[in-house]
Amino acid sequence: MTGILLELDLTRGVVETPPASPLAAFRARHLPTVRELVSGLRKAAGDEHVVGLVAHVGGPPMSLAQVQELRAAVAGFRASGKRAVAWTESFGEVGGGTVPYYLATAFDEVWVQPSGELGITGVSVQATFVRGALDKAGVIPQFGKRREYKTAVDTFTEKEMTGPAREMAARLAESAYEQIVAGIAEGRELSVEQVRELVDRAPLGAEAGREAGLVDRLGYRSDVYDELEKRYGETTALLVERYHRRGPRTVHEALDQLPWPPKPAVAVIRISGGIVVGRNSGGGPLGGPRTGSDTITAALRAVAADEKVKAVVLRIDSPGGSYVASDAIRHEVLRLRSTGKPVIASMSSVAASGGYFVAMPADVIVAQPGTITGSIGVLSGKGVVRDALGRIGITQQAVSEGENARMYSAQEEFSPAQWERLEETLDRIYADFVAKAADDRSLPVDQLESLARGRVWTGADAHGRGLVDELGGFEHALQLACSRAGLDRDEVGIVTAPSRSFLDRLRPPTSTEDLAVRAQPLTVDGLATSLYAALGLPATGVLSMPLNWRVG
């Protein structure tokens, strides 16, 4: 048979987890997941039929952490002695090529179209502020936060960065830039100083990039594939994710996939999107996933009781959300650990605020250097839309009993007494967050407090401060889980929890635990909530980080 030339097409984008909502899932049906690509490259490294790898770089932006996950996978593939080639039409035509180029430098060769350029112009952290728009719309933002770095509320209460916000953003940009420059320098065998100088000269034309040692060859797609044909002869091209998904090709592979005899297993539990009370659901007809505490806690109890499951990896890609939902998940993580099964938290692009809350009780926290994490803080409040609705002729009236029955009504400002109650709530939750983080991370409360205050860190900085234990991706977390459970990584089964077949979803639930692992139907929460979303106001959930940070 002919050899297999693996193709990694990143121009379509990648996803961490397939979307939960049906329409979004249909639109993303052909997009590979990061885990598929990483697993596929790991499998291909040991497959004698795979002769090489060619990647088309570009397309929708990927997070720095996702790029680092793929860089490590490409390095593992190359370590087997097989070559990897990256090509692109252009690393950005008007900038925006820094992170894609950083990914490309993990390959043996980098090709650029002769008319392309290297828009490796550096790193920027941007924040968006909607206070002016809210003022014009007649929305009154009333939010409290703990502490000064909890900048999610600044989006709605400020018109520009505060001093602490600017300080935090500057360090995020600096840390990301340090990682990218170091990776490019290593991949291209240049000094850090040379890379910084070239970045400051960018954007560069393709020929200038080749002369500077940033690019190996200039050519079009046909030139790249002609060169690969000369190198490998006749091959069969196959996308990495299709290679990963295809069935067994030998008797040995078929026997290896049989469910009997049962293998010891590592369970993977995914926490993606906003963390909410209840069951997992899509965030809307077009939205990404939301993680429900009922679903995750039921999954944690199930794997604790499953004798085949010897260890658990929590894969977290979440900016946080509900305090009580996050606390419920943390409690079950601790109960799972009490059974003696190791729990490894693997952070993806972001695991901050509530996302950090559910990670911190794990035996080991693993993050990429570019992961966004921390944000140990709290926020709460509301946007008063009474005047905004009045401008379009909508009014609401209510009859209430109880002094604070309408405390969180979007029709009324907080009274002084109600604002005092809000402040007390913020203090209580913040103190609880800090105390539990200090206990989970075995740090003095005073030291943890200095790292908290709502501040967001890169994974590299969090690692240096004890908020993260080790740097690496999902595969590294999986290796740790196997090692701590005394398992051979190549002999272990990987199961996803919760897992339900299509037929299981059709039958009626038999218990509350059974009900918890089923997808929650979409709901409409009312006119005020819809207007909040339209104006960009936050969903309910006091453990959230800024959703509008952009690093790139």
Q: Is residue 534 assigned to a domain?
A: yes
Domain end (from 251, 273, 290): 251
Q: Are residues 209 and 338 in the same domain?
A: no
Q: Are residues 227 and 363 in the same domain?
A: no
Q: Is residue 193 assigned to a domain?
A: no
Q: pLDDT tens for residues 32-54? A: 999 999 999 999 999 999 999 99
Confidence (pLDDT) at 433 = 97
Q: Are residues 245 and 340 in the same domain?
A: no
Confidence (pLDDT) at 247 = 64
Q: Are residues 446 and 543 in the same domain?
A: yes
Confidence (pLDDT) at 258 = 56
For residues 499 and 363, the model is more confident at 363
User: Residue 69, CB half-sphere, CA atoms under 13 Å: how many?
Assistant: 29
For the chain, what is the mean pLDDT?
A: 89
Task: Say whether pLDDT at 112 is over 80.
Answer: yes
For 177, the token pair is 């830039």
pLDDT band at 263 (very low <50, low <70, confident <90, very high): confident
Q: Is residue 422 assigned to a domain?
A: yes
Q: Is residue 543 assigned to a domain?
A: yes
Contact 138, 387 (CB under 8 A): yes
Q: Are residues 241 and 354 in the same domain?
A: no
Q: Is residue 258 assigned to a domain?
A: no
pLDDT band at 536 (very low <50, low <70, confident <90, very high): very low
Percent of the chain with pLDDT over 90: 73
Across the range 85-104, mean pLDDT stands at: 92
Question: Residue 71 sits in a domain of what CATH number?
Answer: 3.90.226.10
Q: pLDDT tens for residues 468-486? A: 999 999 999 999 999 999 9
Q: pLDDT tens for residues 341-392? A: 999 999 999 999 999 999 999 999 999 999 999 999 999 999 999 988 888 8
Q: Is residue 358 assigned to a domain?
A: yes
pLDDT band at 59 (very low <50, low <70, confident <90, very high): confident
Task: Say whether pLDDT at 283 is over 60.
Answer: no
Confidence (pLDDT) at 530 = 44
Q: Are residues 210 and 353 in the same domain?
A: no
Confidence (pLDDT) at 289 = 78
Q: Are residues 351 and 470 in the same domain?
A: yes
Q: Is residue 160 assigned to a domain?
A: no
Give the DSSP H or E segment for 416. helix 416-441
Confidence (pLDDT) at 317 = 96
Domain end (from 221, 251, 281): 251
Per the structure, the complete domain to which residue 534 belongs is given by: 265-551
Q: Are residues 374 and 242 in the same domain?
A: no
Percent of the chain with pLDDT over 70: 86
Confidence (pLDDT) at 396 = 86
Contact 291, 317 (CB under 8 A): no
Q: Are residues 314 and 447 in the same domain?
A: yes
Which of 59-73, 109-123, 398-412 is least confident?
Answer: 398-412
Q: Would you say the C-alpha torsion 130, 132, 134, 137 has a positive or negative sign?
A: negative
CA distances from 180 to 71, 145, 183, 469, 551 (A): 11, 33, 5, 21, 12
Domain count for the chain: 2
E strand residue ranges, 340-433: 343-352, 364-367, 372-374, 378-384
Q: Is residue 31 assigned to a domain?
A: yes
